[in-house]
Amino acid sequence: MKLLILGGTKFLGRHLVESARAAGHAVTLLNRGSRPGLFAGVEELRGDRSLAAQGLEALGNRRWDAVIDTSGYLPRLVSVSAERLRDLVGRYVFISSISVYSEFVEAPDESSPVANLSDANSEDISRDYGALKAACERVVTATFGARALNIRPGLIVGPFDPTGRFTYWPMRLARGGEVLAPADPTADVQFIDARDLARWTIELIERGIGGVFNATGPAQRLNFGTFLEAAQRALATRCRFTWVDADFLVEHAVEPWMELPLWVNDAPGLQRVNIARALAQGLEFTPLDKTIVDTFNWARTHSAALGRESLGSAGLQAEKEARVLAAWSERAA
């Protein structure tokens, strides 16, 4: 099988390349060439769909069994690649996001309403991320019909994660001591190891599966307390968790999700996404302790070589954590 990957040098793209090659498939990368030679033996083409059709001239009239679009954020640009590849690929796989849903009070499934752009011309990714991803999905489906596969991952985690949105917890627990834990230990948490997402995506292509799938995990519900306890055991570290009330955290300007990753203060459905369809199509998960340990080992090596800032901006600074914990203790006293 021949696969074309748009992007491919970033987090998920790396794992897609590795999974495809492990399965014996030929891989071609199409990107702007900012990181050439990252994968030995993988064909690289230079292209940039922001330049419209002329930016994809390197494709020629070659054909692939499927394309995986890992870097589509704007429907205008996704339309360029979808139209150009309409007759050159058998299936268009678009990596979307669970952020497409219009609300997260309940646990959304694939039939739940998605967000719509209030301004049809918006290209403000930070403000309209979910609605833009939903619009990109519509472009792919309109162009490819039954040959479209839209995958909606939750938080993607594991080695090579550039954001720190999961990595923070293994790195913080490894330091030990009193750990500020957010609000409610019984709150749900969801995420997916990039290796599982990549492997499953390749398997869906191999089996000719189309449609829309939520893709997060684990298979059974996992709460925050259990997650942190599992991380502590996996890393063999000594921690004492102090669960601080949500209102107190907000009062002290601690940001959900980015400063305390996995903490969602006012959108519980974001961590309760229904994945029954994905499970029925064979989505399987790496053991939690392996994801934690592998992520930590990568992050420790990576930060030693390139500095702590190379792990992304997410996570609570140690000084701020100490201040909030002291204030919480003082209030309790």
What CA–CA distance (Å, rounded) separates 306 from 312? 11
Three-state SS at 1: coil
What is the per-residue pLDDT across 42-72, written as a single tens digit (0 to 9) for each? 999 999 999 999 999 999 999 999 999 999 9
Inter-axis angle of helices 125-144 and 75-85, nearest 10: 20
- State the CB neighbour count (10 A cutoff) for residue 303: 15
Q: Which residue has the higher pLDDT, 37 or 154?
A: 154
Inter-axis angle of helices 168-175 and 288-306, nearest 10: 80
What is the structure's pLDDT at 280?
98
User: Do 210 and 143 contact (CB within 8 A), yes or no?
Assistant: no
What CA–CA distance (Å, rounded) separates 276 from 304? 40
- pLDDT band (50, 70, 90) for residue 30: very high
What stretch(es) of the chain map to CATH 3.40.50.720?
A: 2-153
What is the structure's pLDDT at 200?
98
Percent helix, strand and coil across the chain, each rounded to 5?
Answer: 45, 20, 35
Question: For the chain, what is the mean pLDDT?
Answer: 96
Average pLDDT of span 135-146 = 98
- pLDDT band (50, 70, 90) for residue 4: very high
Superfamily of domain 2-153: NAD(P)-binding Rossmann-like Domain (3.40.50.720)
What is the per-residue pLDDT across 82-116, written as a single tens digit (0 to 9) for each? 999 999 999 999 999 999 999 998 899 999 999 99
- State the CB neighbour count (10 A cutoff) for residue 158: 25
Residues 6 or more apart from 212 whose CB is under 8 A from it? 110, 137, 150, 151, 152
What is the structure's pLDDT at 332?
80
Mean pLDDT is highest, among 10-14, 32-36, 164-168, for 164-168
What is the structure's pLDDT at 10?
82
Q: Which of 35-49, 168-182, 219-233, 255-269 has the lowest mean pLDDT?
A: 35-49
What is the structure's pLDDT at 333?
78
Q: Length of the chain, please?
A: 333
Q: Look at residue 34 and tell me whether its pLDDT is greater than 90.
A: no
User: Do 63 and 117 contact (CB within 8 A), yes or no?
Assistant: no
Q: Look at residue 177 and tell me whether its pLDDT is greater than 80.
A: yes
Rg (CA), the chain: 21
- pTM of the full structure: 0.96
